[in-house]
């Protein structure tokens, strides 16, 4: 048996015990708002999904805060129409003295009144993304920016390979996974399910379901979900209109209306309504690697 086939470790004790992971300070917990963490394979469309979901929540009259957790800080650019400064960049300017910052230094308003924050990240190969997420939430709380917020969306980079990547799960009520109808995306989804399983032993986070993105069909996604006890909440096909919206630095709700745009707008509104109403706290069991290969038809 390969070591990778043994499943996730059984974690005991406090989060971060016996590793370099950082336990969440209870003073930094986000209260009052519904918090969602969006995960998925790199390049799968998490930022597109997050931004349009934020816009959909705003259409419902909700006060939304989106936090981009990627060093390339492009999570919110379709909401703001530009790349905004990151929290780390702003902190560097004041020699990491957060008391010198004003809210308007790192929070920017985007489409539909969505508040936009880009956490940024440490230089390549140094530091930890978990630290960056933690500092961002602390700043937001210090400036009372979470008190008038109904929905917080963390847009998290790539696959979950360490505690830093998983840090937003410490704050989230539900994790949402963006996938596609292919092996690599489903493999990444399986690892994210394992990460949520690990974090849920110490935190309130549970899985909401997945979004099939950039996919004509959903048969492979649905087969995986049926096997592990997971749910597909939405399906967004591979439409050129979605690609064009990114090039125009706009959300889908700002694009000229045609049948395709109307359909994806409706799907995002439906997804936002589903999440706001509340989803069952799913706890699927991730599959060992070999079982995913067998499930998806590899010889």
Q: What token pair was written down for 181?
A: 């109808």
pLDDT at residue number 151: 96
Structure confidence at residue 25 (pLDDT) = 54
- Would you list the DSSP string of 189-255? HHHHHHHHHHHTTTSS-EEEEEEEES-S--HHHHHHHHHHT--EEEEE---HHHHHHHHTT--GGGS
Q: 59 an active-site residue?
A: no
Q: Is 27 exposed, middle or buried (0-12, 13-18, 19+ CB in 10 A)?
A: exposed
Structural domains of the chain ordered from first start: 34-296 (3.40.50.300)
- Dump the DSSP string for 2-33: -GGGG-S----SSTTTTSS--PPPGGG---SS
pLDDT at 96: 82
Out of 34, 159, 173, 250, which one is annotated catalytic?
A: 159
Q: Please state, in angstroms and as integers, the Cα–Cα distance from residue 272 to each residue in 67, 108, 127, 280, following that order.
A: 17, 22, 34, 15
Query: In the prediction, which pLDDT does 70 show?
Result: 81
Cα–Cα nearest to 135, from 172, 178, 176, 164: 164
Task: Check: CB of residue 115 under 8 Å from CB of residue 109.
Answer: yes
CB 226 within 8 A of CB 202: no
- Name the active-site residue from 72, 141, 204, 249: 72
Tell me what pLDDT residue 227 has.
96
pLDDT digits (tens, 9 = 90+) for 39-90: 999 889 999 999 999 999 999 999 999 999 888 888 999 999 999 999 988 8
Nearest-angstrom CA–CA distance, 251 and 261 = 11
| Nearest-angstrom CA–CA distance, 68 and 245 | 18
- Are 155 and 68 within 8 A, CB to CB? yes
Which residues line the annotated binding site for Mg(2+)? 47
Determine the Cα–Cα distance for residues 137 and 31; give it in Å rounded to an integer: 12
Tell me whether residue 72 is one of the annotated catalytic residues.
yes
Q: Indicate if 138 belongs to the active site.
A: no
Which residues of the chain fall below pLDDT 50? 1-9, 18-21, 24
249 annotated active-site: no
Positions at the binding site for ATP: 43-48, 72, 213-214, 237-239
Q: Which residues contact 257 (CB under 8 A, 6 or more apart)?
A: none
- pLDDT confidence of residue 1: 43
């Amino acid at each position: 048996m390969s070591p990778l086939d043994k499943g996730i470790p059984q974690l005991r004790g406090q989060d971060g015990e016996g590793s370099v992971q950082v336990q969440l300070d209870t003073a930094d917990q986000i209260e009052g708002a519904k918090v969602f963490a969006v995960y998925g394979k790199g390049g799968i469309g998490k930022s597109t999904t997050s931004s349009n979901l934020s816009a959909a929540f705003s259409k419902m009259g909700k006060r939304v805060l989106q936090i981009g957790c990627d060093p390339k800080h492009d999570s919110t650019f379709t909401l703001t129409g530009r790349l905004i400064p990151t929290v780390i960049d702003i902190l560097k300017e004041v020699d990491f003295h957060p008391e010198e910052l004003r809210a308007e230094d790192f929070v920017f308003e985007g489409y539909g009144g969505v508040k936009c924050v880009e956490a940024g990240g440490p230089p390549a190969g140094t530091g930890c993304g978990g630290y960056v997420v933690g500092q961002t939430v602390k700043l937001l709380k210090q400036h009372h920016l979470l008190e008038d917020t109904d929905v917080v969306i963390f847009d998290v980079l790539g696959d979950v390979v360490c505690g830093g990547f998983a840090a937003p799960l410490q704050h989230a009520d539900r994790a949402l996974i963006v996938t596609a109808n292919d092996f690599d995306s489903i493999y990444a989804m399986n690892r994210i399910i394992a990460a949520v399983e690990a974090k849920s032993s110490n935190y309130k986070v549970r899985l909401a379901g997945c979004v099939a993105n950039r996919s004509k069909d959903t048969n492979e996604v649905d087969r995986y979900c049926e096997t592990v006890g997971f749910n597909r909440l939405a399906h967004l096909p591979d439409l050129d209109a979605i690609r064009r919206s990114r090039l125009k630095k706009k959300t889908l709700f700002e694009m000229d209306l045609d049948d395709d745009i109307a359909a994806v707008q409706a799907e995002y509104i439906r997804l936002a309504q589903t999440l706001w109403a509340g989803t069952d706290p799913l706890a699927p069991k991730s599959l060992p690697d070999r079982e995913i290969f067998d499930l998806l038809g590899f010889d």
